């Protein structure tokens, strides 16, 4: 292969390689190694500890699916919290919803937001909206302190390593439950069904014990391991499969549609087996 390539070692036996045009920025933040590179096929790409977080070319698959599924499930979401997500992609999607009065971003690493503002304007463009509040703190601590505050909570976190480990724990989900309003709901990115089956099964079981409604849905994310990604949803009242589409807002999107929302909950047998296994 000619030229300079970046390879993410996605599993011990699998790498995803992208050809680079140039490295735009590289630094060690207090939390992680951060790089922004320009790729040939996906445009600009954000790396944290050599793991692909997002690319301009495929970010909309992920950001639209993690945001609009919960926001359209709630009939009138006014307050939303994003944990992680310092690139701003989820915030950009949240503020498309006319009912939103306040969107809070809780990101542990201020350098992610600063670099997204400088190098990823297509993704971070919503961060200056008047409804958005940005707090640089640990999302685990934030939900511990909140009660009856949010309609929707979205956990857009790094993989369960380092500061994100606690974002995948049952204790965290119980605190999320408390931080939600009485009819609130939450979604978290929960990794690859091909490579993280046991993690997904454990999370779904934890959620089923805490929330009356617990569901798994899937979407394609080309740059994440395996290309198929999972999202886990816990809801106090509203079922994501019973959205009244006549009342849902008209959204300008590139991936998400009501039919894709419904279809995302249809699980292939190999994923259903992950959930059913004892
Ligand atoms: N929008 C897709 C990008 C991400 S980045 C996830 C963010 O979570 C990072 O900026 C990281 O700094 C932040 N983060 C990690 N732990 C915490 C925490 N405890 N509190 C608040 N923020 C945190 C998701 C990429 C998914 C990659 C899948 N392979």
Kindly give the number of the ligand 1 atom that is closest to the alpha carbon of 189. 26
Q: Which of 55, 75, 97 is the last residue of a domain?
A: 55
Q: Whose CA is nearest to atom 11 of ligand 1?
A: 84
Ligand 1: residue whose CA is nearest its atom 23: 84
Q: What's the confidence (pLDDT) of residue 277? A: 87
Is residue 94 domain-shared with residue 153, that is, in the same domain? yes
Q: Which long-range contacts (CB under 8 A, 24 or more apart) does 1-7 make?
A: 6/37, 6/39, 6/45, 6/47
Q: Are residues 18 and 135 in the same domain?
A: no
CATH of the domain at 38: 2.30.140.10
Quick one: 218 and 257 in the same domain? yes
Confidence of residue 278 (pLDDT cuts 50, 70, 90): confident
Query: Do 47 and 22 belong to one domain?
Result: yes
For the annotated catalytic residues, the residue numbers are: 156
ipTM higher than 0.95?
Answer: yes
Q: From atom 7 of ligand 1, which residue's Cα is the shortest distance away?
A: 84
Chain segment 10-20, per-residue pLDDT in tens: 999 999 999 99
Same domain, 91 and 79: yes
CA of 247 relative to ligand 1 center, distance in Å: 32
| 28-75 confidence digits (pLDDT tens) | 999 999 999 999 999 999 999 999 999 999 999 999 999 999 999 999
Tokens of 129: 């909206």
Q: What is the CATH number of the domain that holds 134?
A: 3.40.50.150
How many alpha carbons fall within 13 Å on the CB side of residue 174?
A: 5
**Is the distance from the beta carbon of residue 83 to the nearest atom of ligand 1 less than 6 Å?**
yes
Q: In whole angstroms, how large is the CA radius of gyration of the chain?
A: 18
**29 and 143 assigned to the same domain:** no
Cβ distance 115 to 189 under 8 Å?
no
Domain identity same for 35 and 67: no
| Residues in the chain, total | 278
**Tokens encoding 233:** 């949803």
Nearest to 66 by CA among 201, 215, 233, 182: 233
> Could you tell me if the CB of 8 is within 6 A of ligand 1?
no
Which structural domain range is residue 49 located in? 4-55
How far apart are the C-alpha atoms of 29 and 48, rounded to whole Å? 10
Let me know whether 37 and 145 are in one domain. no
Question: To the nearest whole number, what is the mean pLDDT of the chain?
Answer: 97
Q: Are residues 180 and 231 both part of a single domain?
A: yes
Which pLDDT value is given to residue 87?
98
Q: In angstroms, what is the span from residue 156 Cα to ligand 1's centroid?
A: 6
Query: Both 184 and 236 in a single domain?
Result: yes
**How many Å lie between the centroid of ligand 1 and the Cα of residue 162?**
10
Q: Are residues 29 and 91 in the same domain?
A: no
- Helical (H) or strand (E) element with 9: strand 4-11
> How many angstroms is it from 163 CA to the middle of ligand 1?
9
Per-residue pLDDT band for 1 (boundaries 50, 70, 90) equals confident
Residue 158: predicted pLDDT: 95
Q: Is residue 90 within 8 Å of 63, Cβ to Cβ?
A: yes
Mean pLDDT of 76-92: 98
pLDDT in tens, 168-221: 999 999 999 999 999 999 999 999 999 999 999 999 999 999 999 999 999 999
- The count of domains in the chain is 2
Q: Are 160 and 45 contained in the same domain?
A: no
């Amino acid at each position: 292969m000619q030229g300079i390539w970046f390879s993410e070692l996605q599993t011990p036996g699998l790498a995803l390689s992208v050809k680079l045009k140039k490295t735009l920025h590289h630094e060690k933040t207090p939390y992680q190694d951060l790089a922004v590179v320009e790729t040939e096929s996906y445009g600009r790409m954000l790396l944290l500890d050599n793991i692909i977080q997002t690319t301009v070319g495929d970010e909309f698959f992920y950001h639209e699916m993690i945001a609009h599924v919960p926001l359209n499930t709630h009939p009138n979401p006014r307050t939303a919290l994003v944990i992680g997500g310092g690139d701003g992609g989820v915030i950009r999607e949240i503020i498309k919803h006319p009912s939103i009065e306040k969107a809070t971003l809780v990101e542990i690493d201020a350098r992610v937001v600063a670099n997204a503002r400088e190098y990823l304007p297509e993704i971070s463009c919503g961060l200056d909206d008047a409804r958005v509040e940005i707090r640089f703190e640990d999302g685990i601590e934030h939900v511990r302190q909140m009660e009856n505050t949010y309609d929707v909570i979205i956990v857009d976190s790094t993989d369960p390593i380092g500061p994100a480990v606690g974002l995948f724990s049952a204790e965290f989900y119980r605190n999320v439950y408390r931080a939600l309003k009485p009819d609130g709901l939450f979604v978290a990115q929960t990794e690859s069904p091909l490579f993280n089956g046991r993690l997904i099964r454990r999370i779904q079981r934890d959620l089923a014990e805490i929330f009356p409604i617990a569901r798994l849905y899937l979407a394609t994310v080309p740059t994440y391991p395996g290309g198929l990604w999972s999202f886990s949803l816990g809801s106090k009242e509203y079922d994501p499969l019973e959205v009244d589409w006549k009342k849902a807002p008209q959204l300008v999107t590139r991936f998400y549609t009501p039919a894709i929302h419904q279809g995302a909950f249809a699980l292939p047998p190999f994923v259903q087996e992950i959930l059913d296994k004892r």
